[in-house]
Every structure is written in C-alpha cells, then in structure tokens.
Structure 1
Amino acid sequence: MTSVTRDSDVHITYEDQQKINRFARCNARHGDIKEELKIKENDLQNLQDAEDEMLIALDSDEKVPFMVGEVFIMKTQDEAQEAISSQREDLQEEISILNSRSSELQDTMTQLKGDLYAKFGNNINLEPEEE
C-alpha cells in the first residue's frame, strides 16, 4: 500500500518515515473499523428482522425464545421487545462511536497524504490497492 520509489533524489527523513508509518497504522485501523461497522450494521438489521417476525408470526400471549449468550430463554413478547430495543440502542451507540473514529482516522490520513504527496509527489503511493 505505502511505498516510496528508490530511484528519486528525494531524501526520506526520520519525520517522513514517522508520517508514513502513522498513515499505515491509521489506514489499517480504518479498515478494521469498516469491517466492524459492517458486522454491527448487519447485527442491527438482524434485530429489526427478528422484531418484525415476532410481531407478524406470534400471538401476543405467546412466549418467544430469546438468546442470552449461548442459551435460549423464554420471554414474553413485551420482554423480548424491550430486550431487542435495548440491544438496538446499544448497537446504534457503538455504530455512532465507530463512525466517529472512522471519520477522525480519515481526517488524519487526509492530512498525512497531503503532507507526504507535497514532499514526494508521484514517488509515493498512498492509495489503496485494487482487489
């Protein structure tokens, strides 16, 4: 991902190398956060789907199995809806925090890119590799 060509006359200082390393760390963390966001958003959609199915398929006095850890317990629909609502709020808060961290990392990477491209021009590549 991050590379500097060897055939240029541009001298790489310790500070430049620190910026390159920082960019690489930020980029790696940004990728991890993006993956984590996908998982959280999928979990949020699964909660919504479960709640919708529960409302459509069950009578109001029927108990539903609700997963706690690795075990299912029986809850009333009201208890299950409250638990789903609580989990949804927690996930939305986690997603918000991850989005904020992602934005901060993106801002840092943009600044570092500007600094590094200003000094190294086409001799450095900070763009993600095509997959």
Structure 2
Amino acid sequence: MTSVAQDSDVHITYEDQQKINRFARCNARHGDTKEELKLKENDLQNLQDAEDEMMIALDSDEKVPFMVGEVFIMKSQDESQEAINAQREALQEEISNLNGRAGELQDTMTQLKGDLYAKFGNNINLEPEED
C-alpha cells in the first residue's frame, strides 16, 4: 500500500515518515469505517425487511416476537413499529456519523497524498492494492 522506492536518491525526513505513517493509519481507519458502514446499512435494510414482513403477515392486534439483546419478547404490532422506528433512527444517526468520519479521513488522506506525491513523485505508491 504505502511504499517508497529504495533505489531513489530522495531523502526521507522524519516529517515525511510521520506523514507516511499518518496516511497509513488514516487509510486503515477509513477501511474499518467503510466496513462498519456496510454493516450498519445492512442492519438498516434488515429493519426495513422486518417491518415489511410484519405489515404483510400480521393482523394489527396480533403479537410478534421482538428481539431485545439475545432474547425475544412479545410485543404488539404498534409497540414493535415504535421499536423499529427507534432502532432505525439510531442506525441512521450512526450511519451519518460514520459517513462524516469517512469524509474527514478521506480529506486527510487526500491532503497527505498531495504532500507526499509532491515530494516523492512516482517513487511512492499510496494507491490501494487491487484485490
């Protein structure tokens, strides 16, 4: 991911190494944030699917099992709807925060990338590896 060609005569200062290390840390955090974002978006979709299934399958006075932690409790459809809405709002807030964090990390990486490429040119590779 982050490498500087060894055969160049470009001197790497302590400050340059700090920038390279900071870029690597930001890149790792950015990847972790993106993974967590995918999980939260998947959870949000699962809530939507559960809500849709509940609306289709049940009468309004029928109780449904609702998972709280590791146990299921019986709730009315209205209570379940309220709980789903509360979970949805919490997930949307978490997703918004994660998107903000990912944007901040991306901005930092873009700045560091510009600084490092300006000094090292093609002697440094800061591009993500293709899987």
TM-score (norm 2): 1.00
Aligned-partner Cα distance in 2 for 1:83–1:31: 31
Q: Give SS of 2:65's match.
A: strand
Corresponding residue of 2:44: 44
1:23-51 superposed Cα distances (whole Å, 9 cap, x missing partner): 00000000000000000000000000000
Note the residue ranges of structure 2 that are not aligned, 5 or more in a row: none
Aligned-partner Cα distance in 2 for 1:10–1:71: 61
1:96-127 superposed Cα distances (whole Å, 9 cap, x missing partner): 00000000000000000000000000000000
Number of residue pairs matched? 131
Corresponding residue of 1:73: 73
Corresponding residue of 1:85: 85
Aligned-partner Cα distance in 2 for 1:23–1:12: 15
* Amino acid across the alignment from 2:112: L
1:75-101 superposed Cα distances (whole Å, 9 cap, x missing partner): 000000000000000000000000000
Corresponding residue of 1:95: 95
Alignment of 1:1-131 (within 5 A): 1-131=1-131
Aligned-partner Cα distance in 2 for 1:78–1:109: 46
Q: Give SS of 1:130's match.
A: coil
Q: Give SS of 2:6's match.
A: coil
Q: Provide the alpha-carbon RMSD of the alignment.
A: 0.3
TM-score (norm 1): 1.00
Note the residue ranges of structure 1 that are not aligned, 5 or more in a row: none
User: Moved runs in structure 1, 4+ residues, more than 2 A?
Assistant: none
Aligned-partner Cα distance in 1 for 2:62–2:53: 13
